[in-house]
Amino acid sequence: MTMFPRPLFNEDHEAFRAIVRRFCEKHVAPNHAQWAEDHIVPREIWQAAGALGMLNAWLPEEYGGVGDGILFDVIVNEELSRIGATGPGFSLHSLIVTPYVYHHGSDALKTRLLPKMVSGDAIAAIAMTEPSTGSDLAALKTSATQDGDGWLVNGQKTFITNGHNADVIVTACVTDPARGSKGISLLVIERGMEGFTRGRNLRKIGQHAQDTAELFFDNVHVPAENMLGQQNQGFKYMMQELVQERVMISVQCQARAEGVFRETLDYVSDRKAFGTRVIDFQNTRFTLADIKAQLMAGRAFCDQLMALHVEKKLDPVQAAAGKLWHSEMLGRVADACLQLHGGFGYMEEYPVARAYVDARIERIYAGTSEIMKEIIGRSLGQEAL
């Protein structure tokens, strides 16, 4: 599909993209339906991806990465999204959770955990959301109290992506209840810690291959070295990392929209109604033309966001605007493409049906569309448009 040149990516990036695409087509696409039935991706896939350098390539060589920025990991996100694979939570692992450990972890913690997070032997998750707390992080109830040479964690988290597979869980805890959002700290809770248990693998309306868990902490002793950064600075760290999380959602929404458009174009080119190919009806061509224009605008916007982020110039308002626009655009595109499939679009085995339900969460996690509008809206009195 004709788009624009992408100067962000060089020959090394494109050679890596070819490797990732082969991996996705050989190991992910044929197995994704079974993973959706199982509601989890086997750990062996993580290790196979790690062996190809598909996890945390951005990390310095001393921890097993390439140390050449985030674009190799962005390619992994794009290629998984291109085939509609929502199961392997590689992007969350590499570009959302790992930065917390790398930017704020002690040298000992980084040396112990990061190489395993590159190889796929340790899978990462982030635990913020609680049963009574979503976007309002200041209302967290999971607590961490000082306990000798560490912390005692009690509470519950929910909707945790990679939650059942996870070995390394960056967990937001209240360490000073009197200070609200300024009393939150981040602790790394690890598989096997006494008192840490997992609840059911949550059943969602979409993204079935992604394990999503409830987590429970009952007097879990966490050593002092597992605190990330300084005590009571967790909220600030989360706000800093949300810019990258939101631009990665723009990346995956754009790639998923392009993928479902390609699949729909193939379908309407083959499908006939009243003796005529569906693509030869004016309504079909106009609908696809409108989608194509949206995708071209989205690609230009997405790549500009990434370029700014690579240069460390992307601000929270720009990231919020991108997350808002791309997540809403994916919803529109998936809906229009489903309509062009007619009754088959409502059948679960068709990629467009999965794309439709999988798209819905993009407008919710990492901050709802309403929160994105609030972030953008608050900035309007501070600048001239």
Write the DSSP symbol of residue 343: G
**CB half-sphere exposure, 348, CA atoms < 13 A:** 7
Torsion angle of C-alpha atoms 229, 197, 165, 122, degrees rounded to 10? 40
Separation in Å, CA 78 to CA 24, 71, 86, 259, 373: 11, 10, 11, 10, 25
List residues with catalytic annotation: 245
Contact between 102 and 110 (Cβ < 8 Å): yes
Closest to 265 (Cα-Cα) out of 257, 273, 253: 257
Close Cβ partners of 131 (under 8 Å, ≥ 6 residues apart): 156, 158
Euclidean distance between CA atoms 278 and 284, whole angstroms: 7
Euclidean distance between CA atoms 385 and 373, whole angstroms: 16
Close Cβ partners of 135 (under 8 Å, ≥ 6 residues apart): 367, 368, 371
Euclidean distance between CA atoms 233 and 180, whole angstroms: 11
Q: Give φ, ψ of 213 to 5 degrees.
A: -125, 160
How far from each other are the two terminal CA atoms of the chain, in whole angstroms?
Answer: 33
Write the DSSP symbol of residue 31: G
Closest to 295 (Cα-Cα) out of 340, 336, 350, 267: 336
Q: Give φ, ψ of 157 to 5 degrees.
A: -125, 155
Give the Cβ contact number of residue 16 at 10 Å.
21
CA 322 to chain centre: 14
Contact between 158 and 206 (Cβ < 8 Å): no
5: tokens are 């040149």
